[in-house]
Structure 1
């Protein structure tokens, strides 16, 4: 179920962070979230565990044990705390009732395939825990879960080691059989030690008072009573006062009476009443011959009215998954047994019905050498009751199965509602994630069209004031003989050529941190020092221009097949910058600096970078190699002294191009 995978995700996120979980799930190829009541393939969990081992650099045993410890806490936080605490008064009882808990949970989690547990006490106080599972390789979760439960519920530390590992071939399921040796030691906190010490002192003081209140005759009589009842049997000899503590209530001097059940000389119930009062019960001997059966079970399985028939002819054991023999049943006698009727033994008209399952306990009757199976129908909903053509009246009034069916009907309805809400929540989460991604794309597109601070002001509905920049460097470029190329090519070829060129140029704007103002046809305009003023604006634009010349060599002329040639012009001076328009707002530059930069480009030379004198002055002492072009006639400006930029003396081609 998704509950397991959600727990694993929660563990990774809490302990190692969201980034680790994202990396883990991508490598495992699984989704980001899981629905609690949805059934998922075991391979997903195994993949997550496998990738976690590789990413975290730890063994599978360590990951599984850590998961087991966390799973226990996760269950408590998920509302199962009270249910777990009431399983048993000690660790033995807790483990012994785990199968019963799984049986109850299977009413809600109908596809659950939980492991099975069997526990044996040893004379030295240790235990042997038998673990059976269909899933191989997950046994190391068990020490994590049991260890955490022992410490939390019973304040004891335990150590668990595998003493046996085998395949139970004779079992019908859960063939992996692992035996753990469980040894335990009490753990006392500082406070508890003080309390224990104080109580010991209190007992010592109380002993003196009690000695005065009880005469020797009363004590002797009390000792004899306890000895006769056999409650003082202990391998360690008790002290005088330990014996007193065992038979009196401290401070009151009243004798504690042990409990001895009283049995009648003969059973005061006739056979008919017994079979009607316990309508779902069966008694069978070592050969599995049925000796007795309740009336309701006879009604459901008519063959049981013939006494002496063999039980395994009419039923199969669903849980625990063991062979149908008296020895196997005795071995797992503390487990709940689930029987299922066999379809082939039912009347012909009943064979289309779902088979009935019975759940109950086994009691071995030594004097009769027979087994008593006290059971009830295993039904989850009223629908299942109707499918088997049964009624509430078929179940004894004292049997809580009546209430369980009705309560579980309501519980399943609540689970379905919860599942729907969880699905809607997941859909909303995915939609929200997609919305966030689309928002980022929109913002990226907006920031590509306008400077970020300008775009943010426009998003907030503010008016963007025009700004004056006292010094910046502007670059223009265009493709040589672009008009002729357009005349000889298909439009799509021109688009592909320009796109290839502009992609290269756009990447260079990021490398050298310059702002792309606009493109018009084959013209490409860039500025340094706007919208954020920087003292290195001229160097940035110069390096960008050198990169453009190199990048253009990688773009093919669709007419000649040779690399295209570009002209580049650069000028430095003041500008006014602001947003123009409302429908398609553009961040534009205004001033004579823009015109001169454009003239530098139009009066340039193919594959050369043409500099104005102001741009030259900014780069003069910045490790750039430049040569003088001399005076040229510039349209609208008269004679101007210009230069060519050759190279950066200190930067390599890879650095100019932003390559590693």
Structure 2
């Protein structure tokens, strides 16, 4: 992918890995082979092309004497160690109570790091777990960069060991290329299996949501129903749609914006446009990326001929929730704004949001 870039922090973690394990002299030899000037190769604030990063990885494999796949896997393990050493330890431990939850949280973490902390806006990978009846996990990994999947093995193994006190085995069940209109996506399916501790000490389970043990039965004190009308007022910015991407119902704010919308007739594409993740919009792609943070742009409502919109475009940020056994998907979202000025420029008000929406607090905090 000639137009792809990597953040310099990756090169710095390469340097740390090699100098700690093999010494500075080995790293100097590597960067000379990779045609980098010493001291400039790990500039954290610099963006590097994929070709630059691959030159370093190939040089590492050549100098150390191991296959490139093993370099990536070793890097994946060290990446977790280095990340936890540089101030992210508590955040990583707070992500989830088990490995499945941790892996399902990685998409949101990638978005936070890329778009909020460093504002790199890189196209990170996506992860999705499926617990199996035998206690194993099937991990789906999607990436526009091919050949990097060994990193996942190193990352998952180190996370299991450091955060969940568990030893695991991973194997590739399937690896395939999925072709879309403008790009190719690598899709790798891993099987993650826990190894029983030799000492007999208890270890944390990979998942607490195994199909054989999970129970969702609820016995309410009385019959409880919520009407579509109540739901639309309770969640004023949601969009519910079916497998054909036809709108079923929307929150009251969006309904006011598009008053002529018809249930089961109006397509999503007439009211919202996908901004992130950059994937073709379809039921299957949404299902594959269901752990991602989704950002949509609300399309401009119809305006009288000869007039122009008076407000800036509105984007919303949220998550996809599959309901009725996947027959419908509800996009639960909030306005993607952080300041009062952004609100006013978009003709949105704090009262338009749910009272418990933390976006309200963020806006007032930034005032």
> Normalising to structure 2: TM-score of the pair?
0.80
| Residue 366 of structure 2 corresponds to residue 358 of structure 1 | no
The equivalent residue for 1:120 is 130
Structure-2 change in CA distance of 1:102 and 1:46 (3 Å):
same
TM-superposition CA deviations, 1:309-360 (whole Å, max 9, x none) = 1113333444555543334434554x24514227687757349945624322
Distance (Å, rounded) in 1 between the aligned partners of 2:32 and 2:289: 43
The equivalent residue for 2:14 is 8
Deviates more, 1:104-113 or 1:338-347: 338-347
Q: Contact conserved, 2:128 with 2:140, CA < 8 A, in 1?
A: yes
Structure-2 change in CA distance of 1:28 and 1:366 (3 Å):
closer
| Residue 258 of structure 2 corresponds to residue 303 of structure 1 | yes
Instruction: Report matched runs for 1:69-108 at 5 Å.
Output: 69-105=77-113, 106-108=115-117
The equivalent residue for 1:483 is none
Name the structure where helix makes up a greater proportion of residues: 1
Q: Which sections of structure 2, spanning at least 5 residues, go unmatched?
A: 1-6, 204-211
User: How much does 1:41 deviate?
Assistant: 2.8
Structure of higher RCO (CA pairs closer than 8 Å, 6+ residues apart)? 2
Secondary structure class of the residue paired with 1:312: helix
User: How much does 1:179 deviate?
Assistant: 1.4
Distance (Å, rounded) in 1 between the aligned partners of 2:311 and 2:182: 25
The equivalent residue for 2:118 is 109
The equivalent residue for 2:352 is 394
TM-superposition CA deviations, 1:559-604 (whole Å, max 9, x none) = xxxxxxxxxxxxxxxxxxxxxxxxxxxxxxxxxxxxxxxxxxxxxx
User: How much does 1:127 deviate?
Assistant: 1.9
The equivalent residue for 1:163 is 173
The equivalent residue for 2:294 is 338
Distance (Å, rounded) in 2 between the aligned partners of 1:17 and 1:177: 36
Q: Which sections of structure 1, spanning at least 5 residues, go unmatched?
A: 196-232, 235-257, 411-660
Instruction: Report matched runs for 1:605-624 at 5 Å.
Output: none
Distance (Å, rounded) in 2 between the aligned partners of 1:383 and 1:21: 49
Q: Contact conserved, 2:138 with 2:190, CA < 8 A, in 1?
A: yes
The equivalent residue for 1:654 is none
How many residue pairs match? The answer is 342
User: How much does 1:46 deviate?
Assistant: 1.7
Distance (Å, rounded) in 1 between the aligned partners of 2:341 and 2:184: 30
The equivalent residue for 1:40 is 48
Structure-2 change in CA distance of 1:294 and 1:264 (3 Å):
farther
Distance (Å, rounded) in 1 between the aligned partners of 2:188 and 2:302: 38
The equivalent residue for 1:265 is 223
Bigger radius of gyration: 1
Instruction: Report matched runs for 1:97-246 at 5 Å.
Output: 97-105=105-113, 106-110=115-119, 111-170=121-180, 175-189=185-199, 192=201
| Residue 17 of structure 2 corresponds to residue 59 of structure 1 | no
Distance (Å, rounded) in 2 between the aligned partners of 1:280 and 1:147: 39
Distance (Å, rounded) in 2 between the aligned partners of 1:122 and 1:280: 34
Secondary structure class of the residue paired with 1:292: strand
Distance (Å, rounded) in 1 between the aligned partners of 2:325 and 2:225: 17
Distance (Å, rounded) in 1 between the aligned partners of 2:277 and 2:129: 14
Distance (Å, rounded) in 2 between the aligned partners of 1:352 and 1:176: 40
User: How much does 1:151 deviate?
Assistant: 1.1
The equivalent residue for 2:35 is 29
Q: Contact conserved, 1:343 with 1:351, CA < 8 A, in 2?
A: no
The equivalent residue for 1:575 is none
Q: Contact conserved, 1:358 with 1:375, CA < 8 A, in 2?
A: yes
- Which residue of 243, 250, 257 corresponds with 1:293? 250
User: How much does 1:382 deviate?
Assistant: 6.0
Q: Contact conserved, 2:296 with 2:315, CA < 8 A, in 1?
A: yes
Structure-2 change in CA distance of 1:382 and 1:162 (3 Å):
farther
Distance (Å, rounded) in 1 between the aligned partners of 2:236 and 2:267: 19
Distance (Å, rounded) in 2 between the aligned partners of 1:133 and 1:345: 35
Q: Contact conserved, 1:317 with 1:337, CA < 8 A, in 2?
A: no
Distance (Å, rounded) in 2 between the aligned partners of 1:345 and 1:26: 57
Q: Contact conserved, 2:297 with 2:314, CA < 8 A, in 1?
A: yes
Structure-2 change in CA distance of 1:349 and 1:303 (3 Å):
same
> Normalising to structure 1: TM-score of the pair?
0.47
| Residue 284 of structure 2 corresponds to residue 276 of structure 1 | no
User: How much does 1:167 deviate?
Assistant: 1.1
Distance (Å, rounded) in 2 between the aligned partners of 1:383 and 1:18: 51
Distance (Å, rounded) in 2 between the aligned partners of 1:297 and 1:344: 11
User: How much does 1:405 deviate?
Assistant: 5.4
